[in-house]
Structure 1
Amino acid sequence: MIESKYNWQMNQIDDPQAVGKLAKEANVDETIAKLLLQRGIDSPDQATNFLKPSTASFHDPYLMHDMKKKGLPEFSRPLRTENRLPSTVITMPMELPVPRLCMKC
């Protein structure tokens, strides 16, 4: 077994009433409520925003270090080359049956 380099410590939630209250108000299981409280999420609104995020809450990927210089060319390379699909793509038959939309056709 590989020894861990770090001593991981989890936040302990000592208030079972807070767990039950968040579980009821956020309409989640108590285990999920406990995990949310360990992350510092203690209101139903925060829980909803965490569990069902909107795209508006995503961070801008270009804020990551060297994204424009290294990341973007890496993502756009398959679009510029002939090798557009990975080799593991399952090929479909060339001719697929076309359903008839009307009886008189």
Structure 2
Amino acid sequence: MTAQPQDVCNITPSEVAVTVHDGNTHVQFISVTQSQLVPGREFQFQDGLGCFGIAHNQGNLFITFNDSLYKYSMSEKLVCKLYKDIGHKGKNNGGVIFVF
């Protein structure tokens, strides 16, 4: 990886998704093939917000940004915005924790 990872979640027994913020925000998919870590596709975000947390559930990715939570399909399509903290504009309050 070219930048520090922020969070990681399991997609399959041999694949993970990692949130990375290096000036640009993206999700990097990494697979294990023959005991080697193999970088896969990248999921880029255009909004410039920091991408921090990630979870996978029932074929969807739940991604936390500075003050919001979004649901994306595995084909990188935005499904919906689930939460936005309008009471603390401009502050990173440590993210949002969800348990599935």
Q: TM-score range by the shorter chain?
A: under 0.3
The normalised TM-score by structure 2 is 0.22
Greater C-alpha radius of gyration:
1
Larger relative contact order (C-alpha < 8 A, sep ≥ 6)?
2
| Structure with a larger share of its residues in strand | 2
The normalised TM-score by structure 1 is 0.21
